[in-house]
Amino acid sequence: MIERIATTKKTKEIINNHAFTFQKRFGQNFLVDTHVIDKIISGARISDDDAVIEIGPGIGSLTQLLAEHAKKVIAIEIDKKLIPILEETLAPYDNIQLVNEDVLKVDINRIVEKENDGKPVKVVANLPYYITTPIIMKLFEENVPIESVTVMVQKEVAHRMNAVPGTKDYGTLSLAVQYYADTELVANVPANCFIPRPKVASAVIKLTKKTDRDTAPEDEKLMFALIKGAFAQRRKTVINSMANSGIVDASKEKLLAALEEAGIDPKRRGETFTLKEFIRLSDCLREIM
Ligand code: SAM
């Protein structure tokens, strides 16, 4: 068995041998806990049929185990200083493709087309916190062929993505993610599992892409405007929050008529609305606009 990279001893050895310095701007916190890596691999249900895209491989701690379980791994890393390190730490594996790019700028659809004949891939990542939401939304909005996204994110963000209506964590992020995917919390990960230690706790969440397009509204843009409008002033009734937000391009009268048509009490708060109710409201409003 090849030595695991995700231990404090091995990670420090690699960093010292290469005189590597951590780049704060790239959110570099490397995992040094093999149990957490094992939980990510089993949570993502990686099998030897899978092609996996890893975002931000770092020094290869997670990449190594992905390569051992998957058919193929495409690892996208922004920091060019990590490429020679990865070439060395991952030398024993012949099923890894390293891509030195910024994941936010690269055409992921083209990578999937080239590396997996356009067939769905699984995405796995320990993400830099400052780009968590843009990366996840890019994957879903650009309709990249993916089966699931299993990611380490800030604990609060994971809880917001996973939240149900009527809870304090429920909001625009919950609905944006749950519109595209079913969510499942895989593990909570304390700060001492990383070098350097981040200031916040983390969690791994699995987002499994929905295949049921029956749940889509006629007009996605309108539905997302309604969601943003409903949460613009959380403490207000949905009708006042939406009408005062300046986000929804419809008069208060039209919004009231659409709520009535959808069978929704306008005095409710947005935070009690299910995704299905936002879809129904959006379709009713579109009818009368
Ligand atoms: N996967 C490694 C681990 O678990 O130890 C490293 C995780 S570290 C939190 C985030 C990684 O993402 C770093 O290697 C960083 O250089 C890389 N990264 C940051 N921004 C990126 C971007 N825009 N595109 C691709 N990789 C990025």
For the stretch 258-272, pLDDT in tens is 999 999 999 999 999
Indicate whether 53 pLDDT > 70: yes
Indicate whether 212 pLDDT > 80: no
* pLDDT tier at 8, thresholds 50, 70, 90: very high
Residue 71 burial (CB count, 10 A)? 14
**57 CA distance to ligand 1 middle (Å):** 6
Q: Cα dihedral sign for 205, 210, 214, 220? A: positive
**200 CA distance to ligand 1 middle (Å):** 17
pLDDT of residue 162: 98
Indicate whether 182 pLDDT > 80: yes
Whole-model pTM above 0.85? yes
Indicate whether 211 pLDDT > 90: no
**59 CA distance to ligand 1 middle (Å):** 9
**54 CA distance to ligand 1 middle (Å):** 9
**pLDDT digit string (tens) for 270-280?**
999 999 999 99
Which residue do the tokens 């891509």 mark? 99
Do β-strands 72-76 and 51-55 pair in parallel, antiparallel, or remain unpaired?
parallel
**133 CA distance to ligand 1 middle (Å):** 14
Q: Across residues 152-168, what is the average pLDDT?
A: 97
**Ligand 1 closest atom vs CA 103:** 24
pLDDT of residue 213: 63
pLDDT of residue 116: 94
* pLDDT tier at 214, thresholds 50, 70, 90: low
Do β-strands 121-126 and 146-154 pair in parallel, antiparallel, or remain unpaired?
parallel
With CA atoms as reference, report the closest residue to 266 among 224, 230, 212, 219. 230
Q: Is the peptide bond before 190 cis (omega within 30 degrees of 0)?
A: no
Q: Across residues 119-136, what is the average pLDDT?
A: 93
Q: Which residues' Cβ are closer than 6 Å to ligand 1?
A: 26-31, 55-58, 61-62, 76-79, 82, 102-104, 126, 128, 131
Indicate whether 216 pLDDT > 70: yes
Backbone angles phi, psi at 253, to 5 degrees: -60, -45
Which residue do the tokens 């910024």 mark? 102
| Mutation choice for ligand 1 from 8, 10, 26, 59, CB with most ligand atoms inside 8 A | 26
CA 137 – CA 209 distance, rounded (Å)? 12
Share of the chain above pLDDT 70, in %: 99
Distances (CA, A) of 205 to 127, 179, 187, 275: 11, 16, 7, 20
What SS3 state is found at 10? helix
**260 CA distance to ligand 1 middle (Å):** 48
CA 78 – CA 250 distance, rounded (Å)? 43
**Ligand 1 closest atom vs CA 105:** 23
**265 CA distance to ligand 1 middle (Å):** 45
Cβ neighbours for 265, distance < 8 A, ≥ 6 positions apart:
259
| Mutation choice for ligand 1 from 78, 81, 129, 195, CB with most ligand atoms inside 8 A | 78
* pLDDT tier at 169, thresholds 50, 70, 90: very high
Q: Across residues 245-266, what is the average pLDDT?
A: 95
